[in-house]
């Protein structure tokens, strides 16, 4: 198939992983990042702002991004568009269908379900052949409205992107930790890290954005995806703390930590009972349970290593994007 991917330019490389997986499955692909502006885009937007100041109409960024996407699609003439939280709208989709009558669109929503996210999904329902969501709770909530158009498509691992390789001595000095957390600072995450640091011998090392807002926790800035994998591989324990609005499912890190060979302690999600991997991962409902699980892992390195190896084998055998997309494309065929 000829498959076009529209998605975000982002440190987690969501769009790149999707493209690489489809290529590994033998499909011809092209890609556009809907949030990455070229020099020409910036000039057009500046001209548009000047035009609007004089009362003339001009395209804003969403409209410009849709125009750019439509032009690339008409040029590439794909069989399938995978739109990762994309910017297509029903009017543009309808215009595209006149030029590409056989085009099918899969819209992928992998974020929490905010009011804006719900509107985006409802809008996509007007033009998408399939809508896939990556949290089970969102699927359960929207299924009565969207029926068979909606599918549950959990995140997964991509070995090409989610393995750490051999850690050098410099990597270990820079990134190794007894306890580690990688992610944006939210209030509930800040509170938990501070609680753990008050009770553990070594403080949890934290990387990500926004940690200056968390008094007493020293955030060490954002990391590349490759360095995230090195943290997961090198840490004795990696914490995985979902956003408080997560609706029963697992984030990308849930799979990535184990693909990198790490050991994870996660907050509890009902979806853990639905898979072998979920049942393997220690899950916690309170700060005290997190502390107990982290201490237990640190005090039992052989048990920790054995569980990490089992979880890694499970992810790489049964929870990969190759398997997810092979199944999806088989259904579409």
Q: Per-residue pLDDT tens for 84-98?
A: 999 899 999 999 999
Averaged pLDDT score across all residues of the chain: 93
Last residue of a domain, one of 103, 124, 153: 153
Last residue of a domain, one of 153, 186, 218: 153
Query: What's the average model confidence in pLDDT over 58-77?
Result: 85
What global pTM score does this model have?
Answer: 0.92
3-state secondary structure of 63: helix
Number of domains present in the structure of the chain = 2
- How many beta carbons lie within 10 A of that of residue 295, not counting itself? 15
Same domain, 146 and 243: no
Same domain, 173 and 222: yes
Q: Quick check: is 330 in a domain?
A: no
Q: Is the pLDDT of residue 310 over 60?
A: yes
Q: Is the pLDDT of residue 187 over 90?
A: yes
pLDDT grade for 333, boundaries at 50, 70 and 90: confident
Q: Per-residue pLDDT tens for 205-217?
A: 999 999 999 999 9
Q: Is the pLDDT of residue 58 over 60?
A: no
pLDDT grade for 239, boundaries at 50, 70 and 90: very high
Percent of the chain with pLDDT over 70: 92
Q: Is the pLDDT of residue 251 over 60?
A: yes
Q: Quick check: is 17 in a domain?
A: yes
Q: Quick check: is 164 in a domain?
A: no
162 membership: H or E segment, kind and range:
none
Angle, CA of 229, 293 and 153, to the nearest 5° = 50
Residue with more model confidence, 290 or 66: 290
Q: Quick check: is 333 in a domain?
A: no
Q: Per-residue pLDDT tens for 87-141?
A: 899 999 999 999 999 999 999 999 999 999 999 999 999 999 999 999 999 999 9
Residue 271 DSSP label: G
pLDDT grade for 55, boundaries at 50, 70 and 90: low
Q: Is the pLDDT of residue 317 over 90?
A: yes
The reported pLDDT for the residue numbered 2 is 98
Query: What's the average model confidence in pLDDT over 259-270?
Result: 97
Looking up residue 255, the CATH number of its domain turns out to be 3.40.50.2000
State which residues form the domain around 80.
2-153
Same domain, 125 and 261: no
Same domain, 19 and 69: yes
Q: Quick check: is 328 in a domain?
A: no
The reported pLDDT for the residue numbered 46 is 63
Last residue of a domain, one of 124, 153, 182: 153
| Nearest to 253, CA basis, from 115, 244, 243 | 243
Per-residue HEC secondary structure of the chain comes to CEEEEEECCCCCCHHHHHHHHHHHCCCEEEEEECCCCCHHHHHHHHHHHHHHHCCCCCCCHHHHHHHHHHHHHHHHCCCEEEEECCCCCHHHHHHHHHHCCCCEEEEEECCCCCHHHHHHHHHHCCCCCEEEECCHHHHHHHHHHHHHHEEECCCCECCCCCCCCCCCHHHHHHHCCCEEEECCCCHHHHHHHHHHHHHCCCCCEEEECCHHHCCCCCECECCCHHHHHHHHHHCCEEEECCCCCCCCCCCHHHHHHHHCCCCEEEECCHHHHHCHHHHHCCEECCHHHHHHHHHHHHHCHHHHHHHHHHHHHHHHHHCEHHHHHHHHHHHHC
Q: Quick check: is 205 in a domain?
A: yes
The reported pLDDT for the residue numbered 43 is 65
Same domain, 178 and 305: yes
The reported pLDDT for the residue numbered 11 is 84
The reported pLDDT for the residue numbered 250 is 97
How many whole angstroms separate alpha carbon 221 and alpha carbon 219?
6
* C-beta of residue 206 within 8 angstroms of C-beta of residue 192: no
Q: Quick check: is 226 in a domain?
A: yes
Q: Mean pLDDT check: name the lowest of 8-12, 16-20, 186-190, 267-271.
A: 8-12
Same domain, 214 and 241: yes
Q: Is the pLDDT of residue 60 over 90?
A: no
Q: Quick check: is 298 in a domain?
A: yes
């Amino acid at each position: 198939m000829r498959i076009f991917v529209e998605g975000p330019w982002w440190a987690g490389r969501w769009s790149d992983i999707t493209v690489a997986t489809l290529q590994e499955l033998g499909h011809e692909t092209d890609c556009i990042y809907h949030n990455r502006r070229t020099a020409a885009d910036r000039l057009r937007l500046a001209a548009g702002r000047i035009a609007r100041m004089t009362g003339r109409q001009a395209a804003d960024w969403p409209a410009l991004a849709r125009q750019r996407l439509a032009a690339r699609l008409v040029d590439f003439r794909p069989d399938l568009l995978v739109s990762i939280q994309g910017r297509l709208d029903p009017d543009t989709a309808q215009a595209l269908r006149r030029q590409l009558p056989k085009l099918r669109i899969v819209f992928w929503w992998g974020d929490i379900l905010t009011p804006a996210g719900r509107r985006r999904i409802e809008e996509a329902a007007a033009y998408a052949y399939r809508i896939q969501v990556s949290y089970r709770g969102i699927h359960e909530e929207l299924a009565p409205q969207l029926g068979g158009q909606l599918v549950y498509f959990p995140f997964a691992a991509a070995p090409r992107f989610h393995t750490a390789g051999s850690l050098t001595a410099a990597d270990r000095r820079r990134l190794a930790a007894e306890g580690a957390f990688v992610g944006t600072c939210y209030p509930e995450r800040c509170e938990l890290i501070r609680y753990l640091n008050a009770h553990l011998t070594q403080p949890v090392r934290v990387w990500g954005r926004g940690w200056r807002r968390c008094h007493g926790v020293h955030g060490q800035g954002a990391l590349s995806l490759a360095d995230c994998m090195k943290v997961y591989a090198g840490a004795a324990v990696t914490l995985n703390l979902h956003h408080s609005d997560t609706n029963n499912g697992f984030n990308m890190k849930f799979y990535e930590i184990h693909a990198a060979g790490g050991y994870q302690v996660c907050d509890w999600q009902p979806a853990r009972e639905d898979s072998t991997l979920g049942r393997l991962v220690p899950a916690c409902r309170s700060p005290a349970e997190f502390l107990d699980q982290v201490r237990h892992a640190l005090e039992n390195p052989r048990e920790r290593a054995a569980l990490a190896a089992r979880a890694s084998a499970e992810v790489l055998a049964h929870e990969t994007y190759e398997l997810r997309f092979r199944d999806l494309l088989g259904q579409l065929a």
